[in-house]
Amino acid sequence: MKKILVTGAGGFVGQHLVKFLKKKNYWVKGVDIKTPEFEKTTADSFEILDLRHLDNCIKAAKGIDEIYQMAADMGGIGYITKYHALVFRNNALINLNMLEAARKNGVKKYLYTSSACVYPKHLQNEENVSPLKEEDAYPADSEPGYGWEKLFSELTAKYYMEDYGIPAYIVRFHNIFGPLCAYDGGREKSPAAICRKIALAKKVDEIEVWGDGKQTRSYCYIDDCLDGIYSLIQSDYHNPVNIGQDRLITVDELVDIISGIAGKKITKRYDTTKPQGVRGRNADISLAKKILGWEPKISLEEGLERMYKWIYAQLKKKKTL
């Protein structure tokens, strides 16, 4: 039986991925610096290891056929705009060491999770942006810290493939969302933060929105993301591929959709002093459609409803509601 390692298996995508791979009957090992926060892991084996250290990476990758490298020091815009040096250093160490561990252990496939944050800022200055194509990443002008590190690690994976023959699969995620994500504490992203604020609001209320609400994004539900990366690792395509959605909406619209799901009448109080990231960002997913025959199936409304219900239930459990 093929043995799979999911790093970052205590995190949002990692936890879902472990479940997804178990359903496909793989033997799965999960590794993280923390245990999964919201439910017990379904991995066959789970180890707490700090992957900034090479010896821990070598231990994690021992006897493994395929690695999905999800571990990263990351968070929403409030987090990644605050900690450039820390995030760059932590993630560069994890990625350099995991690739070296993959080489030393003779791993057969290596999937690296990059990000839309690699794309240049000047292509994302308007609300009504053109969707970002994979080749737009160069000439590079990535998001400081987190984005530049993602580009650096994409290249590291590419060089390891060229020099040592480890097949690399590089996926650029665009705003993946769903249950089991961070929804408070500073690492949460906009859909989860807005769900939390609306869940905590009264029937008729006002919530704080970061920025002026006119900034745009596209959002992809976790189940679609997993189908995408699984198709990619079965393929023979080794350049970066966007996995996301191409339905562009404003943050205002996002708030309105979630208010509708919650059945609440919510007005917005804008705080333009808070970090907002780029003005507009959308994913061009035509490459993934073409080479993988993949496209997202779950609508934004359906995905947000699932996530809202989950966050609402978490807040109830914690007696915050």
Residues that bind ligand NAD (CB under 6 A): 8, 10-14, 32-34, 50-52, 70-74, 90, 94, 113, 115, 173, 175-176
Minimum distance from CB of 39 to ligand NAD (Å)?
13
Which of 117, 266 has the CB closer to ligand NAD?
Answer: 117
Alpha helices in 64-145 (DSSP H): 77-80, 84-104
- Residue 67 near residue 109 (C-beta atoms within 8 A): yes
CB of 289 to ligand NAD, least distance (A): 19
Min dist. Cβ of residue 142 to ligand NAD (A):
12
Nearest residue to 173 via CA among 222, 115, 246:
115
Given the residues 112, 146, 183, 308, select the one marked as catalytic.
146
Q: Which is nearer to ligand NAD, 243 or 266 (CB)?
A: 243
CB nearer ligand NAD, residue 266 or residue 307: 307
Residue 8 has which token pair? 């970052």
- 146 given a catalytic annotation: yes
Query: Residue 158: which residues within 8 A CB-CB, separation 6 or more?
Result: 168, 170, 238
Q: Report the C-alpha gap between 51 and 70 in whole angstroms.
A: 11
Pairing of strands 176-177, 249-250: unpaired
Q: Give the residue with the Cβ less far from ligand NAD, 61 or 266.
A: 61
Cα–Cα nearest to 157, from 194, 206, 210, 114: 114
Of 223, 276, 288, nearest to 250 by C-alpha is 276
Question: Any residues with CB less than 8 A from the CB of 81 and at least 6 apart, and which?
Answer: 144, 145, 275, 277
Q: Which residue's CB is nearer to ligand NAD, number 154 or number 259?
A: 154
Closest distance of CB 312 from ligand NAD, Å: 20
The least CB distance from residue 79 to ligand NAD, in Å, is 9
Question: Strand pairing of 176-177 and 66-69?
Answer: unpaired
Active-site residues, by number, are 146
